[in-house]
């Protein structure tokens, strides 16, 4: 882990209708670190991300970003602090053009507080961002309604919208889901560019082969709890992890 502590999750728990979705999860994330979050379906991964990003409030525990408590903050307030996420199912403004979907976050007050930035009007900046994630700048694709885009472009649009907010922590919820091997290969350079720019990443993913190429370490969840933590090789050697994925003999 790097020296600068970015995110602290302390004994966080959440129940829905009496059922424990997340039960006492704790971990830390350093600035610029990439963490993989894996586990079987229903293990609590997305609920944990929803807790971090303010879409769900914890029943107990603390979540701190750069020492600031996130527990009672709204998702938009957390995003303005620099914690940005994608969703398993892309959530663009379907009736707006792809370009317009990226223009919207460029109005965030977060950008006014940050030094530097990009040159040009918002539409020019949005086109630059779309080009960075693999949209063809001279084509008609950036000007098509988001609702008309194929799945692979929607995933890229999610990344462009996040990139517009200049995140310090980017949470990717199954960014590779539903993509072909070629489409995943096309996203890999974008992820490594985030890393090179010092953005911390939390990646929920079921495609472990691809995930393990980019993460520094991994947390494994099952039934709402962390059952293993370490390098990809360490966690996959754990008998408890093997049982969670493959079942007991």
Higher pLDDT, 207 or 2: 207
Dig out the tokens for 192 from the structure: 């490594």
Mean pLDDT over each residue of the chain, to the nearest integer = 90
Q: Are 109 and 80 in contact (CB under 8 A)?
A: yes
**Which one, of 216, 208, 217, lies nearest residue 242 by Cα?**
208
Distance CA 200, CA 132 (A): 19
Give the rounded percent of residues in the chain with a pLDDT score beyond 90: 68
Least confident piece of the model among 61-70, 142-151, 196-205, 236-245:
236-245
**Which one, of 92, 76, 79, 78, lies nearest residue 158 by Cα?**
92
Q: pLDDT-derived band of residue 249, with 50, 70 and 90 as boundaries?
A: very low
Whether the pLDDT of residue 94 is over 70: the answer is yes
pTM (two decimals):
0.89
151-164 vs 122-132: helix axis angle to the nearest 10? 130
How do residues 70-91 score in pLDDT, each as one tens digit?
Answer: 999 999 999 999 999 998 888 8
Cβ neighbours around 137 below 10 Å, total? 11
How do residues 188-240 score in pLDDT, each as one tens digit?
Answer: 988 998 999 899 999 999 899 999 999 999 999 999 999 999 999 999 899 88
Q: Are 219 and 35 in contact (CB under 8 A)?
A: yes
Residues facing 200 on adjacent strands = 169
Distance of CA 227 to the CA centre of its chain: 21
Distances (CA, A) of 64 to 28, 34, 59, 70, 110: 10, 17, 15, 6, 18
């Amino acid at each position: 882990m790097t020296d600068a502590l970015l995110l602290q999750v302390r004994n966080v728990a959440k129940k829905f209708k009496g059922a424990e979705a997340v039960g006492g999860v704790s971990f830390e994330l350093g600035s610029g670190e990439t963490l993989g979050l894996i586990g079987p379906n229903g293990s609590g991964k997305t609920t944990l991300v929803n807790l971090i990003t303010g879409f769900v409030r914890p029943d107990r525990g603390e979540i701190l970003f750069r020492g600031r408590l996130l527990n009672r903050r709204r998702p938009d307030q957390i995003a303005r602090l620099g914690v940005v996420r994608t969703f398993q199912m892309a959530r663009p403004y379907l009736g707006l053009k792809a370009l317009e979907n990226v223009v919207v976050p460029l109005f965030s007050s977060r950008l006014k507080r940050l030094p530097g930035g990009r040159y040009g009007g918002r539409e020019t900046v949005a086109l630059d961002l779309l080009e960075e994630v693999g949209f063809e700048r001279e084509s008609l694709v950036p000007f098509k309604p988001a609702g008309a885009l194929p799945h692979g472009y929607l995933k890229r649009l999610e990344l462009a919208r996040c990139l517009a907010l200049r995140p310090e922590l980017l949470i990717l919820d199954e960014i590779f889901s539903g993509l072909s091997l070629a489409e995943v290969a096309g996203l890999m350079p974008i992820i490594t560019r985030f890393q090179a720019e010092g953005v911390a990443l939390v990646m929920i993913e079921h495609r472990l082969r691809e995930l393990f190429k980019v993460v520094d370490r991994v947390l494994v969840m099952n039934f709402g709890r962390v059952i293993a933590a370490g390098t990809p090789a360490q966690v996959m050697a754990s008998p408890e992890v093997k049982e969670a994925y493959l079942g007991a003999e």
